[in-house]
Amino acid sequence: MEKVLSALPNNGHLTTLWEYAVDDETLRYKMVARFVPLDYLETIALLQGFIQNEKNGGHTITEDSEDEVEKITEALLLRASSCSTDGKIDEAMDIAFAILKVIEPAMENVYDEGYTFQCIMEEAFDFITTMIDEQNSVKKQQHLRNRLLKQHEERTDAERYCDHMWDENCWLNGENVRSSK
């Protein structure tokens, strides 16, 4: 993006962009989400970092912050759509699935029912469903489903491993109960 803007006469647009980006953190995140190539885990880290920043040291995400998160996810879905158009189906799916993996657990930190987050999740689900349905062969559709399942299982294992409050014995016995350690 910087290269494109710097090619414009007098670099005026680039200067203006930098001036806006200095004062608008959401704009910086949107620019990264839209234009910087990120893999699955980097996309998760970007979105989690933004949500944490929007909490502003607290536990709850305000309605205004939900709207800011929605702007970032819209930029991510635009990037996913561009990837899809360019034939980068796996990358597009990674972006949409990363949104789901971050937004779903964050719903417990929003006011009311988290309508904005529900809409974000619905958009990501719709994107994934459309991507799978648009594949011209059952084999490609199954590849995408298997890829998502594998990512879900790997990420869940990593989350469980990093969660020191989790009582592994309860998990192994099929109980979803956190210990009170």
In tens, the pLDDT along 104-134 reads 888 888 877 788 999 999 999 999 989 888 8
Selection from 156, 152, 109, 148 nearest residue 131 by Cα: 148
Question: Domain total for the chain?
Answer: 2
Please check whether residues 159 and 118 belong to one and the same domain: no
Compute and round to an integer the Cα radius of gyration of the chain.
19
Predicted confidence band at 32 (pLDDT cuts at 50, 70, 90)? confident
Beta bridge partners of 61: 110
Please check whether residues 92 and 142 belong to one and the same domain: no
Please check whether residues 66 and 99 belong to one and the same domain: yes
Please check whether residues 114 and 163 belong to one and the same domain: no
Residues 104-114, buried b or exposed e (16+ Cβ, 10 A)?
A: eebeebbeeeb
Q: Which domain holds residue 56?
A: 2-134
Please check whether residues 165 and 105 belong to one and the same domain: no
Please check whether residues 145 and 114 belong to one and the same domain: no
